[in-house]
Structure 1
Amino acid sequence: MAAAAALLGLTATAAALPASVAQAEPAVSAPGTVIADWARLTGEVVDPEGKSNSSETSIWHAVVSAGMYNAVVGIEGRYEPYRWNERGPRSASSVAAAATAAHDVLLHHFPKAKPRLESAYAASLAEVPDGAAEEAGVEFGRRAAAHMVTLRKDDGFGLQVPFTASPSVGVWRPTPPAQQPFTSSWLGRLRPMLIERPDRFRPAAPPSLTSARYAADLHEVKAVGGKTSTVRTPEQTETARFFTTVDLQGALADRAERHGLDLVDTARLFAAVNTVQVDAAIAAWDAKLHYGSWRPVTAIREAADDGNPLTEADPAWEPFLVTPSHPDYLSGHTTTAGALVRTLMTLSDHPSLDLRIASAMLKKTRHYQVPGHYTSDVEGARMWGGIHTRTANEAGTMTGERVAAWALARNFRPLTA
């Protein structure tokens, strides 16, 4: 897994500023641009070389976007703030507040990026007329940032979480070629952003090693996911490569622009998607730690020891994609994909998914209208890449959908009064 590449900074439309402020502004970028711009910068600051685990990078996107969301809705209203009860003056600039919140959160956690952050911050504030509205927005944005920093203090990020299961038959162990230990195991114990606890979304156990379902899973991934597979189609090969890393923040910016979202709804879109994505990843890693099932490359090479007469070992088998260094069940990619689709459909009034998303590896963009087509492609990609079984993929999608449904029923809701 690689981190998301450079994120697109696209514009959103329709201002949400008070009339007195909007009339004083010169003709500048639409207010929603500030959210996309700081999302792009977050990716560049957090992972400038594109080497971090994408789940780790998603945490910072969630924290920054939640801070911007609180800064915006605390002034503009319309939606419930994220775990905060503060309100800013209605005359304050919500653009200045959003930029300040993002700047302060990033500066707190990444002080070495100060020159770049200061330059971007100055550019954001240049879009706002000098005066009382800007000053009030800056002050409120600082309060929103400080609140987010406090909320995530001692949340378990990066702590040592050992994988203690012995490397017996069916249990995960480091995979070739790097033979690395369990990557980011702490993610399964990270304090969630929306859900109460990840184990309430933990799916049932994967099929037993001696079951027909397990054998079918292994046969399938062995056939279509091998490095030299003759049954995987060119389209399936491209899809496996397409979903190694996708530009989610750019897709959100594109969606905000094309759907004509104003500043408030753009802030909500980014905050809801990014926080739900984090909790979906936490749920996936919780299951990985709990079940600790071996990857296809290990299972296929050591099938002679699994006790299942329906499987056959191939000690030389290699997957098409390099296997990430954590257990098979359940798939992190499909868990976050299920969460993404459910979140977008919940927030949108459109009957179709309408998601345009780009692959960092292939430099291509796909446009998905049907929700099931997106999740099906992500599920297929991990199987055609030879790194996950069908069961791990499907369980991931369903788990992500459950996480999103629960979280959005309790967060980012419209104000009732």
Structure 2
Amino acid sequence: MPTPRTLLVALSTLALGAVLPLAPPSQATERTPDSEVITDWNRTAVEVVSVDARKPTAEPFIWYGFVSAAVYNAVVGIEGRYTPYKWDVRGPRHASSEAAAAAAARRVLLTYFPASEGRINAAYSASLAKIPEGRARDAGVAFGERAAEHLVELREGDGRDATVPFERAPEPGVWRPELPGYRPFANPWLGKLRPMLLDSPEQYLPGPPPELTSERYTRDFAEVRAMGARDSAERTPEQTETALFFTDPLPQQLQAAYRERVTRRGADIVEAARLFAAANTASADATITTWNAKQTYALWRPITAIRQAHTDGNPSTGGDPTWLPLTNTPPYPEYIGGHCANDGAVMAVLDRLTGGDIDLRVHSAVTGTTRTYRDSADFNRDVIDARVWEGIHFRTADVVGNRVGRKIGRFAVAHYFKPVRQPL
């Protein structure tokens, strides 16, 4: 009996005919579709991954990267303009790129989240209802299925959900489960996952954190103890608002900001697909790099460091066995800061795609406020500060994480999602 995958490839091949090598697109004769199908399916991906499946911490960035990469390939394979992601084929020029985007997103989500079949198929029916029936729609659907199948094949055996033990004695400076809940290391497999863009999880592994007796550690310790305490008398109301603003789950917070931006600025389907793919694959690799660093260095969190300061061998770090951070400490080691690594990756991507005017409106459901950022440096500054003021990171981890993320974002745009060279 043929497998479902065999049938899918066969049907796609019959519908497409021979898949052509990538070539520069001819001059478009019709208006390029707008970004609606891209934002619709990004919203559906968020609902499936983060609402239905309740994927925790930074893990959603991996799944958003998968969906965005497949959708991007489906779109540029038909519309052209940019090089596909790890693919060298293109679809028929008459095909509907909107149908291709919807089919690609649907197939990727159904592959990994079959329990959400009802939600996914309802979104798919809504997408196809907006596209006229006929040859163009059918060809687009077939090519989108092919793009999704390629992405799924690329990710086979990538290390998802592998058993990765964390066996470190709770010595001074070493992470251990903490309040609240004393939960074990969340998703340790993320640090060994095959990246989407980079060669390995170690490609941008930073150097180690400061020694516990160093001046930098002493300075970081004093800052987070004073500014990140739940009852801090030194943190201003404005600083507290900034800290709480960035406690909204980052993967979903950024997806909403991308959707708002491409819609408000009237991006077409190609530019929107490129932004989501570049930002989300860079974030996926920033997450993988972060978890690899956390496993490698296993530095304790401020809550443990401050409560156990009498064990660190540093006479300049005064401890407090009752100290609590402003916000709950997440269940994984401190160095490097994952939020800041993802922020750095995204800001570097947006800088390259926009020429420096990122024009990003970010909303926080926690504070009920919206902030507009034109300059990536302002965004990076705020998130670095916020994680210290929340009491969950030392400043060095945030600064280093953001720097690593920026390297990943620049790598993403330098090596992928590039304009197709036009013939002379």
TM-score normalized by the length of structure 2: 0.90
Name the SS for the 2:108 alignment partner.
helix
- Residue among 275, 281, 284 paired with 1:278: 284
More moved, 44-53 vs 71-80:
44-53
Conserved? CA contact 1:72–1:97, under 8 Å:
yes
Name the SS for the 1:409 alignment partner.
helix
Q: Which position in structure 1 is the counterpart of 2:152?
A: 149
Aligned AA (1:168)? E
- Write out per-residue CA displacement over residues 220-279 of structure 1, whole angstroms, 9 at most, x where no aligned residue: 000000011000111111111111124211111111123331111110000000000010
Name the SS for the 2:37 alignment partner.
helix
Conserved? CA contact 2:357–2:374, under 8 Å:
yes
Aligned AA (2:303)? V
Distance 1:272 1:78 in 2: 15
Distance 1:407 1:153 in 2: 21
Name the SS for the 1:118 alignment partner.
helix
- Write out per-residue CA displacement over residues 73-105 of structure 1, whole angstroms, 9 at most, x where no aligned residue: 001111100001121000000000000000111
1:51 shift after superposition: 4.2
More moved, 170-179 vs 360-369:
360-369
1:52 shift after superposition: 2.8
More moved, 394-403 vs 240-249:
240-249
- Residue among 241, 255, 259 paired with 2:261: 255
- Write out per-residue CA displacement over residues 163-196 of structure 1, whole angstroms, 9 at most, x where no aligned residue: 1221111100011121111111111111100011
1:407 shift after superposition: 2.2
Conserved? CA contact 2:61–2:287, under 8 Å:
no
Distance 2:381 2:258 in 1: 20
Name the SS for the 1:182 alignment partner.
coil
Distance 2:85 2:112 in 1: 20
Q: Which position in structure 2 is the counterpart of 1:209?
A: 212
Name the SS for the 2:363 alignment partner.
strand
1:405 aligns with 2:404: no
1:106 aligns with 2:109: yes
Distance 1:141 1:168 in 2: 52
Q: Which position in structure 1 is the counterpart of 2:335?
A: 329
- Residue among 73, 79, 91 paired with 1:70: 73
Name the SS for the 2:346 alignment partner.
helix
Structure 1 runs of 4+ off > 3 angstroms?
Answer: 16-20
1:362 shift after superposition: 2.2
Aligned AA (1:331)? G
Distance 1:310 1:263, change over 3 A: same
Conserved? CA contact 1:18–1:91, under 8 Å:
no
1:225 aligns with 2:231: no
Distance 2:180 2:107 in 1: 40
Name the SS for the 1:200 alignment partner.
coil
1:373 aligns with 2:378: yes
Conserved? CA contact 1:301–1:313, under 8 Å:
yes
1:200 shift after superposition: 2.2
Q: Which position in structure 1 is the counterpart of 2:132?
A: 129
TM-score normalized by the length of structure 1: 0.92
1:238 aligns with 2:244: no
Gaps of 5+ in 1: 1-15, 24-29
- Write out per-residue CA displacement over residues 340-367 of structure 1, whole angstroms, 9 at most, x where no aligned residue: 1101001113x32211111132232110
Distance 1:43 1:374 in 2: 23
Distance 1:250 1:158 in 2: 27
Conserved? CA contact 1:195–1:279, under 8 Å:
yes
Distance 2:156 2:389 in 1: 39
1:83 aligns with 2:86: yes
Conserved? CA contact 1:17–1:93, under 8 Å:
no
Distance 1:51 1:238, change over 3 A: farther
Aligned AA (1:385)? E
Aligned AA (1:148)? L
Conserved? CA contact 2:35–2:266, under 8 Å:
no
Conserved? CA contact 2:49–2:63, under 8 Å:
yes
Q: Which position in structure 1 is the counterpart of 2:352?
A: 346
Q: Which position in structure 1 is the counterpart of 2:5?
A: none
Distance 1:54 1:87 in 2: 36
1:315 aligns with 2:321: yes
Name the SS for the 1:37 alignment partner.
helix
Q: Which position in structure 2 is the counterpart of 1:305?
A: 311
User: Identity percentage over the alignment?
Assistant: 49
- Residue among 383, 389, 399 paired with 2:388: 383
Conserved? CA contact 1:18–1:90, under 8 Å:
no
1:17 shift after superposition: 11
Name the SS for the 2:370 alignment partner.
strand
- Write out per-residue CA displacement over residues 278-314 of structure 1, whole angstroms, 9 at most, x where no aligned residue: 1011111111010000000000011111111111111
- Residue among 46, 58, 61 paired with 1:58: 61
